[in-house]
Structure 1
Amino acid sequence: MAGLSCGAKMLKFIMFVMNFLFWVIGGAMLGIGIWLAVDDDIGFLEDLIEDNPMDDPLWSAAVYTIIAIGAFVFLLGFLGCCGACTQNSCMLCAYQIIVSIVLVAEVVCVILMIVFKSDIGDGFEESMLDTVINKYEQPTQGSATAAQDEMQRDMKCCGAKEPEDYQKSAWYNITVNQQYKVPRSCCKGVEDTGNDNDYSDCNDEVGTSTSNILFNRGCTQQVKNWIDDNSIIFIAVVCSFIGLQILGLIFACCLKSSFDDLDGTV
């Protein structure tokens, strides 16, 4: 029986290495996801999420997404790696089917995101506005409050559409004599210094177009600006990922053909 050609051996090696990396990455993601799901005492989350982190819907959704993606990448890497190593045509066939389904799903998702881009943006804005008006500093909403504060500090923004959003909020109604119009996380450096005079000065500048201490831009627009500024990176990452999948699909097809020819050669 004739052996594999030099080109087929090279493809087999590349296929093995590429999918071995997928297998390791998938296993790591799966392990981390399971750890986050079962461990109730996660030190770095103590300040962000009260009680059991998995009780928070956003956190639990993120964890289960990591587990699902990790399991999928692990399975894909296993099929590709073992299929190439053992010259198993059935495994490579399953690999081709899964990658093809994923590619179609990715194309559909991209098309849907383009078509419903404005709806997604509106939904994001409504969700953030709901957090500011109804959830900020409310009982049992510690994770939502911490997430909003973190966003305002990092993105240098305040409120959903504008700082004035807080004056329509449940938080505003419980502030002392309603003297504060925005939380401290909307003010530059105030949380670090703890200076109440600076905090008062910051609140005095609510409604002005420019300020040296108040973050006077809404967080929705800041997030959109950040996405626009980093769109090239996002596109490059997505294209690279899709490119790797297409290469893997081509390699799997070529290898399967070589293995089938080898099995039929006496």
Structure 2
Amino acid sequence: MALGCGGTLGKVFLILINIIFFLLGLGLLIVGALMKANIKIVNDEVKPVLNSITVSSYKLGDLADNLSVVFIVIGVFIFIVAGLGLFGACCQNRCMLVTYAILVLLLLIVKVVAIALWFTMQGEVEDKVKSEMLKSLTAHFTDDSLSNGDEISKSWNYMFLTLDCCAVNAVTGISNDFDQTPWCTQAGKTCNGGSAQLPGTCCVGVDANTYTSAPAACKTAVSGYNTMGCYDALKAEIETYSTPVIGVGITILVIELLAVIFAFVICKQTGEEVVGGVKMALQCGGKVGQVFLVVINIIFSLMGLGLLIAGALALSDIGNVNTDHVKPLLDTIEVGSFQVGSMANNLSILFIVIGVFIMIVSGLGLFGACCQNKCMLVVYAVLVLILLLMKIVIIALWFTMKDKVESEIKAKLVTALNNNYKDDTITNSNSVSNAWNYMFMTLDCCAVNPVKGTTNDFDITAWCTTAPGSCQATSSEVPKTCCLGVTESTYSSAPATCHQNVDSGTYNSKGCYDALKDKILSMSPSIIGVSITIILLEILAVIFAFLVCSQAGDRTSGLSDVARSY
């Protein structure tokens, strides 16, 4: 049934609109990814203080992280829905267009409800967050140091340094938010003793290495301190993304309304997919293929979701290793032109992208089989074949280059240790040396190769060959950060039996190469299992897609059969 003028116009607009949807969904996904990667308030040092602040039952640190995840999920959803609209309009398929219109309406309703709730509760939420921040500072700020006090107190100091802010409310003089904190009310503290009114971490231009020498004028709240309160700094950091998000969001809302209208216009004018009163029926093999294709693509959707989740878990787990402290070290190690720090993240992101792609392709196969749509089934089969070939190439490359890559990474790690390890502290001016010490504590490892005794990988590092290294002075044979159970706060008091005598059972016996490899490969069984299952299903899917295509036939042949019957 041919489309009328309005339907043709609607078809053209719907195709154009859903191409724009693709781009806007991708834009929202990228904004969310940038937020996830770049919101510096949610790093490992600051997160404890944000998680001490709760809004209803939600922790602020997790909420800030999850906000970016919400944008990514919405972007992916829009991307998928746009595919339904695009192929539905191209093929004039009522089944797809109705599904598309319903999903767009649901998405539109969800957005309207979310916007209404935000404007209704915005003031209440902001007041609650500010109040909880002040409670956290008052209860937990015990010292203006990064090495003393509890984790939340240290997180406050990291926040002051990271966001260039001070206290919760803006500091205007010696009377400020710190007056009721343990730092100012407990004996023995610098504020209680009258030698400081503000932490050294609040001073302008200081960092983790220089805050202890902050000028007195700053610490007595006279001059040279960060005048912005951390509530306003935190709010400003989040709001830096508001303009692009609002712009993209409003544009999507307008396009969604147009898309629903045009989808129903095309549906109305398309009518039933019948030619001359006859609808092409599948033969026995085609029917079996159709059932299998529907079942396979439901499984595909679940497997794609599983691969996406496995990649997200790997990204989260690797994120525990690849922090701002450790990344300088990993980025000194290059394989070809790739930095290991970036590769560790990108590998898990690759799994996520493949998972999303599989879900999109399975949607094409599912709807193509249900609606017996040759256009969709051919596109689906081609995409599955491309995906299958890509996986085979990647697997072949990995098995071909695996040993070479692993050997090169290990050699680069040893070189990085020899060239950059200066001291067994986390406050050295060399960030790569600090990163090694953070890695020892984070991964519970020591050196690159396993330490067997006093002769080890550290022997030719600057720490052991030049003064004033404690190894060169023979007071240590392995770093204190290699000792069992030490943390950022306790490593300096590690027992001599560990760092000096290197007694078995007192230090981390696993080398950092093996520890890093184990961390990255910890997700491999689930990823390999899911991938093999998907490859087998892809082969079956291509076979059944072409079988259903061959039996669906052409509508013109159906018309000829009807004509001959007369």
Structure 2 contact 446–511 (Cα < 8 Å) conserved: yes
For residues 11 and 103 of structure 1, do their structure 2 counterparts lie closer, same or farther at Cα, with a shift above 3 Å needed?
same
For residues 256 and 147 of structure 1, do their structure 2 counterparts lie closer, same or farther at Cα, with a shift above 3 Å needed?
farther
Number of the residue aligned with 1:99: 387
Number of the residue aligned with 2:506: 213
Matched, 1:21 2:302: yes
Give the AA of the match of 1:140: S
1:127 is aligned, of 406, 412, 415, to 412
What are the ranges of 5 or more consecutive residues in structure 2 without an aligned counterpart? 1-279, 332-338, 559-566
Distance in 2 separating the partners of 1:68 and 1:236: 15
Give the AA of the match of 1:175: G
Distance in 2 separating the partners of 1:47 and 1:68: 17
Structure 1 contact 89–260 (Cα < 8 Å) conserved: no
Q: Secondary structure of the equivalent of 1:212? A: coil
Q: Aligned-pair distance for 1:186?
A: 2.0
Number of the residue aligned with 1:83: 365
Distance in 2 separating the partners of 1:52 and 1:158: 17
Structure 1 contact 131–144 (Cα < 8 Å) conserved: no
RCO comparison, higher one (Cα < 8 Å, 6+): 1
1:48 is aligned, of 311, 323, 327, to 323
2:545 is aligned, of 243, 255, 262, to 255
Number of the residue aligned with 2:88: none
Number of the residue aligned with 1:147: 439
Q: Aligned-pair distance for 1:245?
A: 1.3
Q: Aligned-pair distance for 1:49?
A: 0.7
For residues 236 and 109 of structure 1, do their structure 2 counterparts lie closer, same or farther at Cα, with a shift above 3 Å needed?
farther
Structure 2 contact 321–439 (Cα < 8 Å) conserved: no
Q: Deviations over 1:49-97 (max 9, x none)?
A: 15999x9544433334444443343233312321331342222222232
Q: Aligned-pair distance for 1:147?
A: 2.6
Structure 1 contact 27–74 (Cα < 8 Å) conserved: yes
The worse-fitting range, judged by mean Cα deviation, of 192-201 and 235-244 is 192-201
Distance in 2 separating the partners of 1:223 and 1:50: 15
Distance in 2 separating the partners of 1:123 and 1:60: 16
For residues 84 and 190 of structure 1, do their structure 2 counterparts lie closer, same or farther at Cα, with a shift above 3 Å needed?
closer
TM-score (norm 2): 0.36
What are the ranges of 5 or more consecutive residues in structure 1 without an aligned counterpart? 37-43
Q: Deviations over 1:176-214 (max 9, x none)?
A: 4352221123222354994877521213333xxx61313
2:343 is aligned, of 61, 64, 87, to 61
Number of the residue aligned with 1:40: none
Number of the residue aligned with 2:75: none
Structure 2 contact 446–510 (Cα < 8 Å) conserved: yes
Identity %: 14
Give the AA of the match of 1:243: T
Give the AA of the match of 2:477: K
Distance in 2 separating the partners of 1:51 and 1:204: 25
Number of the residue aligned with 1:2: 281
Distance in 1 separating the partners of 2:420 and 2:308: 37
Q: Aligned-pair distance for 1:105?
A: 0.8
Matched, 1:238 2:528: yes
Number of the residue aligned with 2:460: 168
Number of the residue aligned with 1:189: 485
Number of the residue aligned with 1:70: 352
Q: Deviations over 1:85-128 (max 9, x none)?
A: 13422222222321331242144125404xx62x3443232122
Give the AA of the match of 2:292: L
Number of the residue aligned with 1:159: 447
The alignment yields a C-alpha RMSD, in angstroms, of 4.3
Q: Aligned-pair distance for 1:159?
A: 1.5
Structure 1 contact 11–255 (Cα < 8 Å) conserved: no
Distance in 2 separating the partners of 1:101 and 1:200: 57
Q: Aligned-pair distance for 1:4?
A: 6.6
Structure 2 contact 300–359 (Cα < 8 Å) conserved: yes
Structure 2 contact 327–435 (Cα < 8 Å) conserved: no
Structure 1 contact 135–170 (Cα < 8 Å) conserved: yes
Number of the residue aligned with 1:12: 293
Give the AA of the match of 1:2: A
